[in-house]
Amino acid sequence: MTSKKGQPYLHQISVSNGGLPKLPVPKARITTEGVEGDRHRNTLLHGGPDRAVCLFSLELIDALQAEGHPIQPGATGENLTLAGVDWAGLVPGSRIAVGDQVRLEIMSYTAPCSLNTCYFDAGDFKRISQDLHPGWSRLYARVLAGGTVRVGDAVAVEEA
């Protein structure tokens, strides 16, 4: 799917009943608790109001694939895969609108997990560590306004 007039868009919505990979769905309701239909195996490290939604960049996934990593959207546990976003410009405090209803605030960088080993060449799951590779991390967001999102929805970013 291509963006409307070159603007950022929601490439994939991913959920699971716990564990990885998260699998694509065409639409989902997002609440302050997270993405409906999505569960976490480890609720000490995932979920909760400040980690309600996990985000990642399609362009970074493509770049990681070009490096030889067998990663796909949803594989590393992200709920929303965004396309056309200046990923390195997203920092805690940045706000994102997805579609007409959903508003998110970036809260933190997401630490890579050893369960992601199989999605990285030579098991190098730390390839998406913010500390080791700034700008390549997934992001956790809290929900400022909930609603339904659909694949292809426009995405707009506000600076922190």
- How far is 158 from 96, CA to CA, in rounded Å? 6
Tokens coding 31: 């609440």
Delineate the domains of the chain, giving CATH numbers in brackets: 4-158 (2.40.33.20)
The pTM for the full model equals 0.92
Q: How confident is residue 44, by pLDDT bands cut at 50, 70 and 90?
A: low
Instruction: Please answer whether residues 84 and 157 qualify as being in contact, where contact means their C-beta atoms are separated by less than 8 angstroms.
Output: no
- pLDDT, tens digit, for every residue of 83-120? 999 999 999 999 999 999 999 999 999 999 888 899 99
Question: Which residues, at least 6 apart from 151, have a Cβ–Cβ distance to it below 8 Å?
Answer: 1, 10, 11, 12, 13, 24, 26, 27
Confidence of residue 130 (pLDDT cuts 50, 70, 90): very high
Q: Could you tell me where the DSSP H helices lie in 58-155?
A: 58-66
What are the pLDDT digits (tens) for 3-40?
A: 556 899 999 999 999 888 999 999 999 999 999 999 76
Q: DSSP H helical segments within 12-146, as ranges? A: 58-66
